[in-house]
Amino acid sequence: MAKTNNPYTDAPQTGITRRYEFNISRGVIAPDGYEKRVILVNGQFPGPLIEANWGDYIEVKVTNSITDDPPEGTAIHWHGFLQTGSPWMDGVPGVSQCPIAPGKSFTYRFRAELYGSSWYHSHYSAQYAGGLQGPIVVYGPRNAEYDIDLGPIMVGDWWHKDYYAVVKEVMAPGYNGQSSSDNNLINGKMNFDCSTVDAGDKTPCTDDAGLSKFRFAPGQTHRLRFINSGAEGTQRISIDEHNMTVIANDFVSIEPYDTEVITLGVGQRVDVIVQANAETGSAFWLRANLSSCSSVKQPLALAAIYYQGADINSIPTSTPWNVPDPGTCANDDLELTKPFYPMDLPEPSWTQHMDISTTTNASGNSLWEFGGVTARVDYNDPSLLRSRESGLQFESDYNVINYGSNTSVRIIVNNPGPSPHPMHAHGLNMYVLAAGPGNYSASTTVLNTKNPMRRDVQIVTANGFIVVQMDATRNPGAWPFHCHVTWHSSAGFFSQLLFQPDELRTHLFEIPRDVRQTCRDWAEFTDRVVPDQIDSGL
Ligand SMILES: [Cu+2]
């Protein structure tokens, strides 16, 4: 039961391992009709669905076949998975592992400790904006009834340039902060108007590439699992003439509430139930709009929903909800989102500010600072390995914050700038105690301490703040806490929270043999080829 089973501790011992093999390679695809150089999983975009039951183990053998044009490392992060006792499996290069060298394999093994909807993506530079991403569903107890599971719906902004070209643009001296996405995709599909390309652009382009299509059974209830797998833009998602009942945010079931539109920052997930209460044979648009708080050329993604009996080649003529974009990119009010399984907030043993700022370095690159530091990792020297082998000294640009034996850490993030940031924590769900405009104020900010929302990504709005808290005892490790806008983390918006380093140095956290081997392989590769790490590496 979702109400009585603690989602963090009561996962059943199923004794089952779900095994997958991923081959990562370069390719050329045209999901919206415009050809783009990408990086694919088993030749697919989005990558294959990973499915498991709550309590299962998931094992993925990842082979890096990015062997030329140029050869490149990779590492895959399993978004939202706690990795309790398995910090090596978190998939962050320069933090939990060395990148998987071209031609080499690494097998990730971790437990589905939580249940719900999520995704995997490369954490190597901005590779996931180049296609390396896919959905994950973990089936678990229900907090609301429904008849049909429509599965994951990945929604993401899409750049026509390959990811490395965009990183180059973002990292160039004098960058003005505006790299516009070209389109918006639902499950890797959308049309594009090829007449709008820049003059002289000879890239092959076809109009009417086609849209994603979904089926509704009249009278039945349907579960839809929305995932924002984009690089930057916040999505506002609605279904014409249908209400949605929100039942989960990220990997956290919540008390259901109804809405006409959901707001989804990069990395976030929202699960909804939709009652198919229209007539047999009717058709409706599912709309995802990129909010105006980021810079986009074509904000609207469409998918068609066909009721049984409808002509699946017909074009829906449904009416959109009147839900104007407030332009704030704020998540729904915390009053609306209450975890279904209530938990008490522990007393924080430490409270600190981690504010967001920008800086220009000596070469003229505009970079982010998080807690006053612009981060950059060394792929050859991951912090987790170092925390065992060479003491707890890190160069300042690792941006490691050592919390020692703290039990629960409260972090206040003020964002005085004009961009919103979806803040993502690895290895845990944050308690979200407050989110609002302006700066946090110790005297006036009201903290929501009674069964506060928990999730792994929370948006801090432009000129806004959030207050989050993280339990630091249950999961020793070096856990990234960063902005999920991939161009922002490339430009240094990244930190690592080191929890319980003394435990990390016990025999319980011996460095696995394969993790060492991956570093040896990477060292051998980088002796021959020096990767052009023009960004933070993340
Ligand atoms: Cu950001």
Q: Report pLDDT digits (tens) over 23-57.
A: 999 999 999 999 999 999 999 999 999 999 999 99
- Ligand 1 centroid–CA 291 distance in Å is 15
Tell how far the Cα of 484 is from the centroid of ligand 1, in angstroms.
6
pLDDT in tens, 294-304: 889 999 999 99
389: confidence class by pLDDT, cuts 50, 70, 90: confident
Q: Which long-range contacts (CB under 8 A, 24 or more apart) does 319-325 make?
A: 319/240, 319/241, 320/238, 320/240, 320/285, 320/287, 321/238, 321/240, 321/241, 321/260, 321/261, 323/236, 323/238, 323/260, 323/261, 325/236, 325/289, 325/291, 325/292
Distance from the CA of 265 to the center of ligand 1, in angstroms?
A: 11
Distance 60 CA to ligand 1 centre (A): 29
Give 461 Cα–ligand 1 centroid separation in angstroms. Answer: 10
Measured in angstroms, how far is the CA atom of residue 485 from the centroid of ligand 1? 5
Ligand 1 center from residue 413 Cα (angstroms): 12
Q: Which two tokens stand for residue 50?
A: 């990973």
The pLDDT value given to residue 193: 96
In CATH terms, the fold of domain 350-528 is Immunoglobulin-like (2.60.40)
Residue 208 Cα, ligand 1 centroid: separation in angstroms? 33
Residue 27, CA distances (Å) to 22, 41, 43, 316, 384 in order: 15, 10, 7, 33, 32
When mean pLDDT is compared across 12-21, 168-177, 457-466, the lowest value belongs to 168-177
Under DSSP, the state recorded for 242 is: B
Instruction: Calculate how far, in angstroms, residue 477's C-alpha sits from the geometric centre of ligand 1.
Output: 23
pLDDT of residue 392: 87
Place of tokens 């797998």: 229
How far away, in angstroms, is 415 Cα from ligand 1 center?
10
2 pLDDT higher than 80: no
Check whether 391 has a pLDDT greater than 90. Answer: no
**If you average pLDDT over every residue of the chain, what do you get?**
96
pLDDT score of 294: 86
For the segment 499-507, the average pLDDT, to the nearest whole number, is 94
261: CA distance to ligand 1 center in Å? 23
Ligand 1 centroid to Cα of residue 479, in Å, is 18
Task: Give residue 488 CA to ligand 1 midpoint distance, Å.
Answer: 5
CA of 424 to the centre of ligand 1 (A): 10
Q: Which residues of 470-499 are buried (b: 16+ CB within 10 A; e: fewer)?
A: bbbeebbbbbbbbbbbbbbbbbbbbbbbbb
Q: Ligand 1 centroid to 420 CA: how many Å?
A: 6
Mean pLDDT of 361-388: 93
Q: What's the mean pLDDT in 255-260?
A: 97
Å from CA of 81 to ligand 1 middle = 21
Q: How far is the CA of 373 from the centre of ligand 1 (A)?
A: 14
Residue 424's pLDDT is 98
The pLDDT-based confidence of 369 (bands split at 50, 70, 90) is very high
Whether omega before 46 lies within 30 degrees of 0, making that bond cis, reads yes
Q: Tell how far the Cα of 168 is from the centroid of ligand 1, in angstroms.
A: 17
**What's the pLDDT score for residue 1?**
66
Q: How far is the CA of 445 from the centre of ligand 1 (A)?
A: 23
For range 48-74, the mean pLDDT = 97
Predicted complex: ipTM over 0.85: no
Helix (H, G, I), strand (E, B) or coil at 30: coil
Tell me the CA–centroid distance for residue 489 and ligand 1, in Å. Answer: 7
Q: Answer for the pair 420, 329: CB distance below 8 angstroms, yes or no.
A: yes
Say how far apart CA 340 and CA 358 lie, in whole Å: 38
CA of 353 to the centre of ligand 1 (A): 17
Q: What is the pLDDT of residues 316-351, one digit of tens each?
A: 999 999 999 999 999 999 999 999 999 999 999 999
Whole-number Å distance, alpha carbon 109 to ligand 1 midpoint, is 30
Q: How far is the CA of 483 from the centre of ligand 1 (A)?
A: 4
Q: How far is the CA of 401 from the centre of ligand 1 (A)?
A: 19
Looking up tokens 């209460």 gives 277
Q: Which long-range contacts (CB under 8 A, 24 or more apart) does 255-258 make?
A: 255/143, 255/338, 255/339, 255/340, 256/143, 256/144, 257/336, 257/337
How much of the chain exceeds pLDDT 70, in percent? 100
CA 494 – ligand 1 centroid, Å: 9
Q: Domain limits of the chain?
A: 350-528
The percentage of residues in the chain with a pLDDT greater than 90, rounded to a whole number, is 94
Contact 287, 301 (CB under 8 A): yes
Q: Answer yes or no: are the C-beta atoms of 118 and 58 closer than 8 Å.
A: no
183 alpha carbon – ligand 1 mean position (Å): 20
Expressed in angstroms and rounded, the spacing between residue 516 Cα and the centre of ligand 1 is 32
Query: Would you place residue 360 in the very low, low, confident or very high pLDDT band (cuts 50, 70, 90)?
Result: very high
471 alpha carbon – ligand 1 mean position (Å): 23
Q: Work out the pLDDT band at 178, boundaries 50, 70, 90.
A: confident
